[in-house]
Amino acid sequence: MNPLFKLIPELEDFLKSVRESMIYDLVFFIKRESSNPKLRMLSFIYSFEDFKTIVYSLDNKGETITDVVGLPIKDYENLYSMENYGRFVPYELEEKEDKIYKQYQELEDKDKLTEYWDYSEEYQSMKSDIFKSWFMDCWQVASTNTNAGILACLAIHDSSGGIELTTGKYMTDDEIENIFD
C-alpha cells in the first residue's frame, strides 16, 4: 500500500478547518470584483505542491485588469502584502512527505526508489483532486451567497487549461481563449 496515503486524512482535516475562511475570502473577492464593469472572468492559479492560490480578474479581451491577490487573505487592509503569499498547506505535512521519501532513499535500492516515485505521483494526483474538489465546493458556496454569476477558472501554475468552477468542466487553453473572442 502507498505509504503516502496515510497523510490524506491530515490534508482533508486541514481543508475542512479552513473551508469557512476560504469561502469568506472568495465572497470578499467576488464582491470586490463584481462591481467592475470590465470583469469577464476570475482566474485562480494554484501551486501543485502546497496549493497556494492566487487570483486575478480578466476583461473581455482576456487582459488582466487587477493585480494578483494571494489566497487565503491574511491582510485585508493591504491585499498585496507579502503575508498573503505564504504557503497554504501546513509545512508539517510536507515534512512528513519528505520523511517518507528519505526512508526510501536510505534503502539505496533503485527499485524501491522507483516504487517511491510511483507512489508519489499517485499521491500528488490524489492530493490535487482533493484540493480541486474542495476549492470548487468553496467556490459554489461563495458564488451562491453572492448571486454574482461570475465565470471562474482554476488551474495549476504553469499548466494549460483549467477547470471552470461552476460546472467542473475541464477547459483547454483554446476553449478559454474562445471566451474572450
Whether 87 shows a pLDDT value over 80: the answer reads no
pLDDT band at 97; cut points 50, 70, 90: very high
Torsion of CA 152, 157, 162, 168, to 10 degrees: -70
Mean pLDDT of 101-115: 90
Whether 85 shows a pLDDT value over 70: the answer reads no
Phi first, then psi, for residue 67 (nearest 5°) are: -70, 160
In sequence order, the β-bridge partners of residue 152 are: 42
pTM here is 0.90
pLDDT at 22: 94
pLDDT at 181: 64
pLDDT tens, position by position, 147-178: 988 899 999 887 778 999 989 999 888 888 88
Are the CB atoms for 55 and 72 separated by under 8 Å?
Answer: no
Question: Which spans in 35-167 are helix H?
Answer: 91-106, 110-146
pLDDT band at 116; cut points 50, 70, 90: very high
Angstrom distance (rounded) from CA 29 to CA 33: 6
- The residue type of 107 is L
pLDDT tens, position by position, 118-136: 999 999 999 999 999 999 9
Are the CB atoms for 79 and 69 separated by under 8 Å?
Answer: yes
Number of helices followed by number of strands (H, E) in the chain: 4, 6
Question: Which spans in 39-109 are helix H?
Answer: 91-106
